[in-house]
Amino acid sequence: MPDQRHPPGHRQTGTAELKLPNGKKVELPVYAATLGADVIDVQQLIKAGYYTYDPGFMSTASCSSDITYIDGAKGELLHRGYPIEQLAERCGFLEVAHLLFHGSLPNRVEKTEFDRRIRYHTMVSEKVGQFMRAFDSTAHPMAMLICTIGALAAFYHEGSDVGLVDSRYDNALRLIAKVPTLAAMSYKNSIGQPYMYPQNSFSFVENILYMMFGTPAEDYRPDKRVVKALETILVLHADHEQNASTSTVRLAGSTNANPYACVSAGVASLWGPAHGGANEAVLAMLDEIGSVKNIKPFLKGIRDKSSGKRLMGFGHRVYKNYDPRAKVMRKICHDLLPRLQQEGEEMDESLQIAMELEKIALNDDYYVKRNLYPNIDFYSGIVLRAIGIPNPMFTAIFAIARTVGWVSHWRELHSDPEFRIGRPRQLYEGSKKRSVPARGAAKKKAKKAR
């Protein structure tokens, strides 16, 4: 299966002239983007003896890509050109996975074939289950995932043949298929229940629920509304351009590392509360607030920078308008939760606190001035909790979805004509060159002084 990548060469639309401190001028090519900002190619600056400085990559395009486009000012997210709202409404997770992975939405035949291929790979070696059992039941699922996804490299040696297109394809599919199995196993390990083998008569999403909540003692049929909500959550999280974890996978991949090791690195990066770990952190924060009456003092505490606290689930590096994924997730929250409540499920107070928090924060000049809007994680944690996913599994669910994005970017990287190892430089501000004192010199100096 060929990787999807356009032929070499960018469309140059002009040049940008840069005057250097030594008076020399450099002409830098400007390339057209299909959508969004054009980029200035600074590669030749090194020949003039300069690097660019951009901590946090605020204005740096680390690669060119055909997969996902975000317009942060408009609050727009497109996968291969399709708006996320439409994908969430009209497509299942594996259709979106096909889109990201292959570049097009599948027709009926392609969909069946893609599904079949993924299902074929859902099992993992029994030995992986044994590694998992070695973890204490208090181990966080993300810690177990990092370890066991990386461990798959020990079972698929051909994964290291990253130069082979077919090997890249097979191992990327294996990752999409096996990460849910490992995630569910990590949960079963933490509650001391037997692992449930994947049941391939179930759909991809049903299988996740079955492997997490089924037991050998009883028949398990996932609730259709829960399946639908989880399917949408996976679609919304499937990819997000060059975010921290995807950039981590790309950087690891640029060394020709084994794909299981690269995705394991991606999971590590995702875990942080500034990124995918935010969904778990939002719920912890809502629990900490505890009641609607505590919101105002809590927000006051956040304004005080010395507290080091942030309003979890608010703000985004790219969106300076409402996160379009959060809009979809907010709607699910409002549709699903009252229905569950009508059926006797306990309405979680966290939703009420979240709604009130959103209202107050969106009218607070601290958040207005900084364009801080709720992001996807503000709502995803609440929905995940409502459908019965335990808090420590929230980020693992995110990882299941984002694996599709990671492997799509990893394949794109490997088929990129500009592929080379990622190796940033730095602004060195340390000591100038100096000599290590000769052995005993300090003692001799002290003796002489006496």
Just list the catalytic residues: 316, 377
Report whether 381 contacts 280 (CB < 8 A). yes
Give the 3-state secondary structure of residue 55.
helix
Nearest to ligand CMC of 93, 378 (CB atom)? 378
Query: By Cβ distance, which residue is nearest to ligand CMC?
Result: 315
Q: How far apart are CA 419 and CA 302, in angstroms?
A: 43
- Whichever of 169 and 398 has its CB closer to ligand CMC, that residue is 398
Smallest gap, in angstroms, from Cβ of residue 361 to ligand CMC?
9
Compute the distance between CA of residue 421 and CA of residue 147 in angstroms, rounded to an integer: 24
Q: Tell me the closest approach of the beta carbon of residue 47 to ligand CMC, in angstroms.
A: 32
Question: 3-state DSSP call for residue 7?
Answer: coil
How far apart are the C-alpha atoms of 293 and 176, rounded to whole Å? 43
Q: Which is nearer to ligand CMC, 334 or 370 (CB)?
A: 370
Q: How far apart are CA 114 and CA 110, in angstroms?
A: 6
The two three-digit tokens of residue 410, written as one number: 């990893």
CB of 232 to ligand CMC, least distance (A): 16
Measure Cα distances from 115 to 204, 257, 378, 386, 387 in Å: 8, 27, 31, 28, 25
Minimum distance, C-beta of residue 240 to ligand CMC, in the bound complex (Å): 5
Cα distance between residue 378 and residue 279, in whole Å: 7
In the complex with ligand CMC, the residue whose CB is nearer, 207 or 269, is 269
Report in angstroms how near the CB of residue 299 gets to ligand CMC at its nearest.
Answer: 9
Minimum distance from CB of 223 to ligand CMC (Å)?
A: 27
| Residue 375 three-state SS | coil
Closest C-alpha among 99, 94, 98 to residue 83? 99
Alpha-carbon gap, residue 442 to 438, rounded angstroms: 8
AA identity, residue 296: K
Decide if 84 contacts 328 (C-beta within 8 A).
yes
Closest to ligand CMC by CB, 377 vs 416, is: 377
CB nearer to ligand CMC: give 198 or 276.
276
d(CA 155, CA 274): 32
**Residue 251, amino acid:** L
Least gap, CB of 394 to ligand CMC (angstroms): 12
Longest CA pairwise span in the chain (Å):
90
Task: Give the N- to C-terminal CA distance of the chain in Å, as an integer.
Answer: 78
Report d(CA 225, CA 202) in Å as an integer: 15
Residue among 207 and 245 whose Cβ is closer to ligand CMC: 245
What is the CB neighbour count within 10 angstroms for residue 398? Answer: 30
Chain residues in the site for ligand CMC (CB under 6 A)? 240, 243, 274-276, 278, 302, 310-317, 370, 372, 375-377
**What's the Cα-to-Cα distance from 216 to each of 119, 132, 197, rounded to whole Å?**
21, 19, 10
